[in-house]
Amino acid sequence: DAEITQSPRHKITETGRQVTLACHQTWNHNNMFWYRQDLGHGLRLIHYSYGVQDTNKGEVSDGYSVSRSNTEDLPLTLESAASSQTSVYFCASSESVAGEQFFGPGTRLTVL
Amino acid sequence: GQNIDQPTEMTATEGAIVQINCTYQTSGFNGLFWYQQHAGEAPTFLSYNVLDGLEEKGRFSSFLSRSKGYSYLLLKELQMKDSASYLCAVAYSGAGSYQLTFGKGTKLSVIP
């Protein structure tokens, strides 16, 4: 069955380190998204991509970057982790730009 | 910007009916989604409304009034497993992009 996976599921890192969170989907969806979820804020869009070599900034993109070299993967990189980036990160994909989004299981990141 | 309001918490009794409201202010409106999220899990798609009116899907129904900037999710014959957070998400488009903005979610507790 097609699915969307994220790794690692949990990570603890130190301030200033570079961190990459992986997202892999097997639906062959062109559209992929990264969100963070924090208490009191709900889900907020970090970056999104409509296809290979396409990346766009979302509402809270500062301190994050993405790259899209193939259809299946959209890794999220924290260039220099900060304590404010402690959060749960969800990756999602959709078949059409306006269609329902399918979410991965999430990565809980703690920055000490 | 986009502004979405929904109640923070609600409690309802098993077997009863509950209505979760969502009001929004947005430009470039392109539909409204409802997602369910159990604690510690990923959001999962429940419904999508782009035209005014009621969409029914089993025990769950969703209503949209675009002129009032208002939607609700109706859950009938509540079951204990319906205890979860319910996320209202407004889709909007503009400047060549299409994005979802999520509300902060309504935590529903179903009691015996």
Mutate: best of B100, B101, B106, partner A, most A CBs <10 A: B100
- State yes or no: pLDDT of B92 exceeds 90: no
Residue of A nearest to B4 (CA): A42
Q: Which residue of B has its CA nearest to A88?
A: B40
Residue B95's pLDDT band (cuts 50, 70, 90): confident
The 10s digit of each residue's pLDDT in B45-72 is 999 999 999 999 999 999 999 999 999 9
DSSP line for chain B: --EEE--SEEEEETT--EEEEEEEE-SSEEEEEEEEE-TTS--EEEEEE-SSEEEEETTEEEEEETTTTEEEEEE-S--GGG-EEEEEEEEEEETTEEEEEE---EEEEEE-
Distance in Å, alpha carbon of A79 to nearest chain B alpha carbon: 24
pLDDT digits (tens, 9 = 90+) for A23-43: 999 999 999 999 999 988 889
Mean local confidence (pLDDT), A52-70: 96
pLDDT band for position B96 (cuts 50, 70, 90)? confident
pLDDT at A105: 97
How many pairs of residues across A and B have Cβ atoms under 8 Å apart?
43
